Structure 1
Amino acid sequence: MKAARSCLLCVTVVFVVIAVLCHVIALATSSWLKSSDDRVINFLEIGLWQACFDRYLHTHETPHRTYDGCHELGSNYYASIRDWLVPGWLVSCQVLAVIALLLQIVGLVFVLLLLLWVLCRWICCNGKDDPCERILLYATPIIWIVTGMFLMMTVMIFADNAFRLQCKDYWLEGGEPNANHLSYSWGFEIAACIFSFISGGLLIWVVVLKGREKF
């Protein structure tokens, strides 16, 4: 039973690492929403932290200003249009994604500590229960399930609002409603969400195996 638990934890570590990597890629790249036809609207792509334009003329500014290239949403380059460029729902996505990353880091540390703890007890043949192991055993799956929920909210809020709000103002200006599409960065966030839930499920299984040892 202990060998099965150790193997299951090793598999869980792999899924945990994949989940963290997918989330980091999603945060580091800007292809969450991408233009299908940048010749029409001069919008290239936007992510949680960066937006890219191709000689886009912002008609709501006086005097009008042309925006070109990729720049951070919080940079001085977008200072005059930041309130318009970064709506409340996008700020919510940023906050949720950062919280999810912090939870992932904590969850990764907990999983590694739990794996080392189980391996040490298995090698040393120490059958005595330890309160620290019990805390890690029950806290770690909760962390990863909650992380999956935060990632799921990020994915859903972005997908639900990206097409309905900002798009009708400038991302679809002069174009068709399907001129933009969700891109690979958003896909990596979905993958991070799925792998986080899988990690939580595997850790719950570890708890079940631990409980069976007592019978």
Structure 2
Amino acid sequence: MSVADNEYPKASNATLIGSSLTYIAGLFLLFAFAGPYWLESYPEMFSEFKHMGLWEYCFNRFRFPSYQFDKLFHGCHYIFSEEYYVIREWLLPGWLMIVQAFVTLALMLSLLAQIVLACVVVRWPLRTVLRYEWICVSFAFICVALSSSFLFLAVAIFGGNAYRRDWLLYPSFNVLSWSYAFAVIAFMIFGVAAVLLYFEAQKLYELRREAKNLVAQMQHSQPSNTLHQLHHQLQQQRAAGYI
């Protein structure tokens, strides 16, 4: 086989499926990260709180009871904007900052895994990917598995604290919304992708080890006929990129 003639081994079906699931989960995660609908109020309740995301809160003429001045908070604003400066400590408790950190880490790791998997799928750079494919897939597996774990912790912490009475007023008027659901979907898809990438990494490692054993056998073989046969197999392994 000749690499110049594009006869090099393509990415396996498991790698393709795992990569596709990683990209799909990444889209769900991106929408959950940027979406302002992790929690929203029931429309029929006419609550002053409307909805919120990890980075944005929306109110309708909300008056914070502990603030000594008569100020109404209205509209949607970035959580670190000047508008929410006086109530930021209330809007952003410690557990919510932990959720923000976990989701941010999951997004960064998923983007890194997508870049590595894209290189593996398109075979670029060719010789590097063919020689170190099992390392690339293993690295992508670690990133995807960590993304799934971080997202699980994020949705568990947020779901367990979203109805605290020391946070938003009248928590019974609120409900978890679609941005939160997207985060849940993302962590489940990441989990499936991680399983596929794990088994694929194991398979690639075994192929790599067999290729090295083939080299050792060739070096210790004496009969010329056996030597020629092993040399032919070695050329096939090299063309496949496993050694």
TM-score, normalised by the number of residues in structure 2: 0.74
Q: In structure 1, what residue type is equivalent to 2:162?
A: A
Aligned equivalents of 2:19, 2:64: Cα separation in 1: 47
Which of 84, 87, 92 is equivalent to 1:86?
92
Pick the structure with greater CA Rg. 2
Partner of 1:193: 187
User: Which residue number corresponds to residue 110 of structure 2?
Assistant: 104
1:113 has 2:119 as partner: yes
Change (3 A) 1:64 1:7: same
Aligned pair partner of 2:42 in 21, 36, 46 = 36
Any residues of structure 2 matched to 1:115-194 within 5 Å, and which? 115-117=121-123, 130=131, 132-167=132-167, 170-172=168-170, 178-194=172-188
Q: Note if 1:53 corresponds to 2:51.
A: no
Moved more, 29-38 or 104-113: 29-38
Amino acid at match of 2:189: F
Unaligned runs of 5+ in 1: 122-128
Quote how far apart the aligned CAs of 1:85 are. Answer: 1.3
Gap regions ≥5 residues in structure 2? 1-7, 212-243
CA distance in 1, matches of 2:165, 2:64: 17
Question: Structure 1 pair 61/139, CA: closer, same or farther in 2 (3 Å)?
Answer: same
Question: 1:23 offset after TM fit, Å?
Answer: 0.7
C-alpha separation between the residues in 2 aligned to 1:95 and 1:77? 23
CA shift, 1:27, in A, is 1.2
Q: CA deviation at 1:98?
A: 1.0
Instruction: Read off the aligned partner of 1:111 and give its amino acid letter.
Output: L
Rounded to whole Å, the distance in 2 between the matches of 1:3 and 1:133 is: 11
Give the Å deviation of 1:102: 0.8
For residue 211 of structure 1, report the CA deviation from its aligned partner: 4.8
**Is residue 47–residue 173 contact of structure 2 (8 Å, CA) maintained in 1?**
no
User: After TM superposition, where is structure 1 displaced by more than 6 Å over at least 4 residues in a row?
Assistant: none
Structure-to-structure mapping, 1:1-20, within 5 angstroms: 6-20=12-26
Deviation digits for residues 32-89 of structure 1 (CA, Å, limit 9, x no counterpart): 0110146453110111000011111111111121111111100001011111111111
User: CA contact under 8 A between 1:171 and 1:180: conserved in structure 2?
Assistant: no
Change (3 A) 1:190 1:63: same
Provide the C-alpha distance between the structure 1 equivalents of 2:164 and 2:68, rounded to a whole number of angstroms: 26
Secondary structure in structure 2 of the residue aligned to 1:17:
helix
Q: Shift of residue 198 of structure 1?
A: 1.2
Q: Which amino acid aligns with 1:160?
A: G
Q: Which has the higher contact order (CA 8 A, sep 6+)?
A: 1
Q: In 2, are the aligned partners of 1:31 and 1:184 still within 8 Å (CA)?
A: yes
In 1, Cα distance between equivalents of 2:157 and 2:183: 12
